[in-house]
Structure formats: structure tokens, C-alpha cells
Amino acid sequence: MGSWCSLVNTSPCHGEDRGFKSLRTRHEKIVLPQGKAIFSLEFAIIKVNMSKRPLTNGSGEKRLPSKIDAGYVIKTIVCVLLFLAAVAFFAYVCRQLSDNYMLLLMPTTYATVTWLINFGVAILVFAIMAGVVAILVRPYWIVIVAFLLSALLYPLIVGMNLATWIVAGVFAILMCIYLLYIARQLKNQINFSAHPLSDMKLLLLSLLVAQVCVAFGLGYIQDSARRNYVLPPEIKAPIASGLLSQATANINQAKATDAQKKVAVEAANKQVKTTVDDLEKQFQAIKYMIPYVLGVLLFFLLQTILLVLGFLPIAIARLLFMLLKVTRFANVTVETREIKHLTLKPVPLASSGKSK
């Protein structure tokens, strides 16, 4: 606190010789709950918030605060639960794609649009809540536990097998890297900014798209093993229908009798069937590579779309942080730091004793 004046260190020329006597203690200290102290120096009151400093007892040992802030605990629980709910919803969307992967191979109007809307909402909410938890929730071990729990939700909802557990492990590692980067950037900031979320946008979106592609590939592999096909019948039928329609149109344009056209159509039907069977035989050699190739193509397609629309979760997150400050759900704290640098400049004599 620096030097201060009291009756003990007041020199006689300023005290007794002038008949000065105080009717109250010149220095009062009142210890308040949660580590706050009020110092009354003459008519000046200084309030020191020590909520972020370790409290000590008389022997200098650290002790815990006597009372826990219930509001902070409730806010932390709410943020973590909302994040886990967002992860569960995203895993549910992945499960929908795994159960009906033909939504993307042979898209229908209503079902495909419904899934795409759910996918977009899941990505948006996931990205926002991951940023909120990484920035606001403290201490960091709570965030790490939340990320580990969220990693378990993917295999529990999509399906427990080797691929989903590998995805869960990679997810947990990358989310910890996501947290460490954001924590480091926040520590180096002077004024709060949500810019670290924008820096990690590519990593987070790539991770989510990879989970969707894994769910798609698992659905294809499981359905192929169950129905024992190389190419899905839902794909073979449109190919055969398209080839037969083209052949029939060419036959109808030709000058021939109805009997000749009928024979030509039957021959074209057999030729189309033979062509489709030959095509399936060609894919037989790479049967097990088909879901991986389709998954990679889907990854680049969705990644491109999300990179174009990737500004949305960042913009909404910035607005959300402003709303949290306005509603006093989150508060801005001010910290004072002492920074030491190694330099070739001469150190002033007044501070040479403090420098090491």
C-alpha cells in the first residue's frame, strides 16, 4: 500500500508539540468475507478486491475462501450444460446421416433439406458454445473435463466401434489444443477480444466436418455389409433408368414398325443391364475404398461451404459476449501485471535493487 501516517510514526514536531490528538484510530482495517479489505486512512477509503489472490492465515499458509460464490457456480454449470447439449445435438445429426446416408448420395427435397438445416444449426451452436466455454469458464480443468465428456458423446450416440472411439480421442486432443491456444491469446490481450475464436475457426470446422464424414462412411459400410452390394441399388436403378430412357428415345425417333421398336427396346434393356453389371464388376476391386473416397469428397464439399459461411458463428459469438456483458451475466475484470524484460539498457539506480 506504500507509506502511511499513524500516531506511532508521527514526529513530535507534527504531533505532541502542536497538541495534536486524534479522537479515532488513524488506521483501521476491517477484514470482509471473500478476501476483501477496506482500509480507512483519515478520510480516504481504499477497497481492494483479492478474489483472484490466494488468501492466507496468520502463519502465511494458503487457505480457501470461507464462502463460495453460488452465482458463479450456477453460471459455470449453465455454460457447461449448454455446451454438452450442443455436442449431443451435433452427434444426433451425425447419427441421422449414419442411419440414412442416402440423404446426400440421392438427395430428396424434404428429407435432405431438413437434415441440412439441422446440420447448419448444430455446427453454429457447437462453435458458439465451444468459444463461450473456452473463454468464460474457469478454472481450466473444468473446461478440459467438459471437452472430455463431449468427446464421449460421439461414440455413445453415433455408435460404439473402433472408428468412433478414434474420432473421440482425436476430438479430445484437438479441443484441448483449441483451449490452450485461446487461453494463451487471452493472456496476451490488453483489452478483451473474441479474435482468438476466429483464429481457430478452421481447426474447429474441419474437426466437425470430419466427424460428419466418418458418420457417413460408417453408414455406407454397415449398409453394404448388411445388403451385400458393391454399388447401392438406389444408385444402380437411376443409372439403368437413365441409360434405358436415352436408348428408348433413340429407338422411337427411328423409322421402324412397332414390332421392330418393341424388339429394339428389349435388346436395349438387356444391353443396359449388362452395362450396369459390368460397371459394378469394375468397382468390385475397389469395393472397400468406395466409402472412403465418398467421405473425402464430402469433406471437401462441406468444408468449402462452411469456410464461406464461417463468419456467422464468430459474428454471433461477438454479439453474444456483448449481450452477456450488458445483462451482467459476465463481467469485465481489470488486472495489474508486472512484466520483466531482459535488456541492454542501463537500469536506473532507484530500481536496480528490485531488478534481477
Same structural domain for residues 179 and 306?
yes
Same structural domain for residues 132 and 193?
yes
Q: Select the more confidently predicted residue: 196 or 237.
A: 196
Contact 14, 20 (CB under 8 A): yes
Same structural domain for residues 39 and 177?
no
**Interatomic CA distance for residues 207 and 148, integer angstroms:** 15
Count structural domains, the chain. Answer: 2
User: Which structural domain range is residue 39 located in?
Assistant: 12-63
Hey, what's the cell of 67? Answer: 464462502
Q: Ranked by mean pLDDT, which of 47-56, 65-74, 151-160, 272-281 comes out on top?
A: 151-160
Same structural domain for residues 117 and 203?
yes
Contact 185, 199 (CB under 8 A): yes
Q: Ranked by mean pLDDT, which of 77-91, 261-275, 339-353 comes out on top?
A: 77-91
Query: Considering the domain boundaries, does residue 58 fall inside one?
Result: yes
What 8-state DSSP symbol labels residue 89? H
**Interatomic CA distance for residues 87 and 152, integer angstroms:** 10
- Orientation angle between helical segments 109-136 and 201-227, nearest 10 degrees: 140
Query: Considering the domain boundaries, does residue 264 fall inside one?
Result: no
Query: Considering the domain boundaries, does residue 110 fall inside one?
Result: yes
Query: Considering the domain boundaries, does residue 112 fall inside one?
Result: yes
Same structural domain for residues 23 and 141?
no
Same structural domain for residues 53 and 173?
no
Same structural domain for residues 128 and 37?
no
Beta carbons within 10 angstroms of residue 355's beta carbon = 9
Contact 218, 162 (CB under 8 A): no
Query: Considering the domain boundaries, does residue 270 fall inside one?
Result: no
210-233 confidence digits (pLDDT tens): 999 999 999 988 888 888 777 777
Same structural domain for residues 219 and 319?
yes
Same structural domain for residues 59 and 94?
no
Same structural domain for residues 162 and 56?
no
Please state the rounded mean pLDDT for residues 35-47.
36
